[in-house]
Amino acid sequence: MNDGSDDVLGVITEQIETRFGMSFDNLRGAVEKSPDANPQATQVVYWHGMLDQAQTALEQAEDDLLAGLDTEPGPLGDPVMDLAQRVNAAVAVRDGRALIITHLLEPHTTRNQDTGVSAARRRGPALRTSPPATAPVPATPVPARGVGR
């Protein structure tokens, strides 16, 4: 099954190569030699490996679905529908991993990691820091107990 989505790995790899200015194989080699030198590169290489595994699982699920469709003429039964669900799940995993890499490659992510400033510290407080305004109390006197008038 080729709907163009199997190019996700290639597109992501090109984005990584553009971001780091070297081939992915060279980047992976540099990370293997010195994983602490560039934490972002280490994360990107790790997630690229996870994306590659997800792409392989997706291709296998698609092949199994095609084989199931070839063997079952007529209305689709539960086994073929299960294969279709497996393809859907594999697409979701692959796309999720691609999104993680895309996020890691975004310029604001790089800046935050390089400066050590987290996005949470740059935003305003999550909770109210001043006491809530109180409603004015009416000036109606309330008679005290046990005091007659």
Mean pLDDT of 25-29: 96
pLDDT (0 to 100) of residue 111: 47
pLDDT at 25 over 80: yes
The three-state secondary structure class of 90 is helix
What's the pTM value of the predicted model, to 2 decimals? 0.67
* Out of 16-20, 56-60, 123-127, 135-139, least confident range: 123-127
Question: What per-residue string of b and e applies to 54-92 under the rule 16 or more CB within 10 Å gives b?
Answer: bbebbbebbeebeebeeeeeeeeeeebeebbebbeebbe
pLDDT (0 to 100) of residue 118: 46
pLDDT at 15 over 70: yes
pLDDT (0 to 100) of residue 107: 78
